[in-house]
Amino acid sequence: MAIKVLVFPCGSEIGLEIHAALKYSKAVELYGASSVSDHGAFAYLRYRQIDAHVQSPDFIEQLNELIQEWGIDMILPAHDSVVLKLAECRDTLLATAAVPSAAVAGVCRNKNSTYARLSEAGFDFIPADISGLSDTYPIFAKPAVGQGSQGAEVVHDYQRHQQLLDCGIEYVFSEYLPGAEYTVDCISDSAGRLLHFSPRERSRVKSGISVRTRPVRLAQSVERIADSIASTFCFKGAWFFQIKCDVQGRYKLLEIAPRIAGSMGLSRNLGINYPLLSVYAYAGLAFEVLPQDYPLEMDRALQSRFRTGLQYDCVYLDLDDTLIIKGSVNTLLMALLYQWVNQQVSVILITRHAQCPRATLAQYKISEHLFSQIIHIVDGSPKSDVIERRQGVLFIDDSYRERLDVSRQVGIPVFDLDAVEQLLDWRA
């Protein structure tokens, strides 16, 4: 039986990576929830927006209501604040929370606490702390509670340093680290043993998120850092840490997070599905990793997904320059064809093709069984003559003349190729 997993907040970059990682898994039945209207509604087939946010007094109560309604087995957090809240309230949750103990989550949520805990253990990969105003500049400043590189800055003089000291926000002030920055994705088993770590370069960062990243090989000292953190905190499942080089080229710790990272999709495509392995770890299941090793780079940008209010059960689809375009199969329309098969939407191929349409479909390895009917117009009559005049029918054709005629004569929605993306349902 599949493990019912609830992701919260599911529309964050982390939540969307979890969706991408778990949506095809036969071991998981995926659910999503958020406290604000977000992209999760466009990605998660089973989705709910709740009224409470993580600081609301009834947050856990509302989560428990969803857990009971959906029969949830496990919650995967998709934000650092949610990790801490679930850890603090795990005894009152009605499902397993994929989070560490409240003590460990609290230490990891505050970078000053993280540095203090690891310094007490005698580790030397902690950046040098700056207490009070510094004798030399630049230094590095970052909010003690935060995520990614948000709020981080290089402080070049004592005036700015004093402003940050007086601003009322707890900061980490440390030595300036001029070297390259890396994220190290890690996976531990259900007993907290580190199984694998995957360093990657933060090549391009936007709003604190690594939107371009690639795997890198780093010095053996990084493995020592990973082992030291793992032995100190005994994380289960996926977690990561970030490092940067000091002036002497030594790796120093920036932060640790006991959760999925939004850019773990890079490692997922190299054989390690961190969200799925986290589910296994917190379910107490045994697993191993099979990493792949070849050049790969990942870049992320805004992607449009649509939620159309159209209700339809029949699509009329053109062949030339529509399904077949520039001598190749239109792969977006092929995806839609199989979506419509799953949704039991009837697709009728309507074409003025110069040859036999079935022979051309066979040439391009497109099954004619994807269509409920093939209408071959050879007498020059308008396509509007053979299209059903009723609601629930759509027409897709690259020709403006054909679309204009169908729109005027039949009165149904018509689509050029640049508009069919709105019909693709990404939810899973």
CATH value at residue 338: 3.40.50.1000
CB neighbours (10 Å) of residue 224?
A: 14
Q: What is the pLDDT along the chain (428 residues), one digit of tens a residue?
A: 899 999 999 999 999 999 999 999 999 999 999 999 999 999 999 999 999 999 999 999 999 999 999 999 999 999 999 999 999 999 999 999 999 999 999 999 999 999 999 999 999 999 988 888 888 899 898 888 987 667 888 889 889 999 888 888 899 898 999 988 999 999 999 999 999 999 999 878 877 777 889 999 998 999 999 999 999 999 999 999 999 999 999 999 999 999 999 999 999 999 999 999 999 999 999 999 999 999 999 998 888 899 999 999 999 999 999 999 999 999 999 999 999 999 999 999 999 999 999 999 999 999 999 999 999 999 999 999 999 999 999 999 999 999 999 999 999 999 999 999 999 999 98
User: Are residues 138 and 248 located together in one domain of the fold?
Assistant: yes
Domain membership flag for residue 224: yes
Residues 175 and 79: their CA atoms lie apart, in Å, by 28
User: Are residues 148 and 32 located together in one domain of the fold?
Assistant: no
Instruction: Please tell me whether residue 142 adopts helix, strand or coil conformation.
Output: strand
Give the model's pLDDT for residue 333.
98
Last residue in a domain, options 99, 128, 145: 99
Give the model's pLDDT for residue 84.
97
- Sheet with 251-257, edge to edge strand ranges: 251-257, 237-245, 181-188, 194-206, 209-215, 298-299
User: Are residues 325 and 414 located together in one domain of the fold?
Assistant: yes
User: Are residues 10 and 66 located together in one domain of the fold?
Assistant: yes
Domain membership flag for residue 172: yes
User: Are residues 117 and 238 located together in one domain of the fold?
Assistant: yes
Give the model's pLDDT for residue 205.
80
Would you say 141 and 173 are in contact if contact means Cβ atoms under 8 Å apart?
yes
CATH of the domain at 190: 3.30.470.20
Would you say 259 and 166 are in contact if contact means Cβ atoms under 8 Å apart?
no
User: Are residues 53 and 127 located together in one domain of the fold?
Assistant: no
Last residue in a domain, options 79, 99, 119: 99
Would you say 355 and 322 are in contact if contact means Cβ atoms under 8 Å apart?
no
Name the residue range of residue 82's domain.
3-99
Domain membership flag for residue 299: no
Domain membership flag for residue 392: yes
Domain membership flag for residue 307: no
Give the model's pLDDT for residue 202.
85
User: Are residues 191 and 322 located together in one domain of the fold?
Assistant: no
Q: What DSSP character marks residue 422?
A: G
User: Are residues 236 and 336 located together in one domain of the fold?
Assistant: no
Give the model's pLDDT for residue 182.
94
Give the model's pLDDT for residue 148.
65
CATH of the domain at 12: 3.40.50.20
Domain membership flag for residue 302: no
User: Are residues 12 and 117 located together in one domain of the fold?
Assistant: no
Which helix or strand (DSSP H or E) is residue 194 part of?
A: strand 194-206
> What burial letters (b/e) apply to 44-71, b meaning 16+ CB within 10 Å?
beebbbbeeebeeeebbebbbebbeebe
Last residue in a domain, options 259, 293, 327: 293
User: Are residues 58 and 32 located together in one domain of the fold?
Assistant: yes
Give the model's pLDDT for residue 187.
97
Would you say 242 and 108 are in contact if contact means Cβ atoms under 8 Å apart?
no
Residues 96 and 63: their CA atoms lie apart, in Å, by 12
Query: Measured in whole angstroms, how far is the alpha carbon of residue 320 from the centre of its chain?
Result: 36
User: Are residues 329 and 283 located together in one domain of the fold?
Assistant: no
Residues 279 and 22: their CA atoms lie apart, in Å, by 10
- Judged on CB neighbours under 10 Å (0-12, 13-18, 19+), 177 is buried
User: Are residues 393 and 359 located together in one domain of the fold?
Assistant: yes
Domain membership flag for residue 428: no
pTM above 0.85, yes or no: yes
CA 169, 174, 178 angle in degrees (round to 5)? 120
Domain membership flag for residue 303: no
For the chain, the domain total comes to: 3
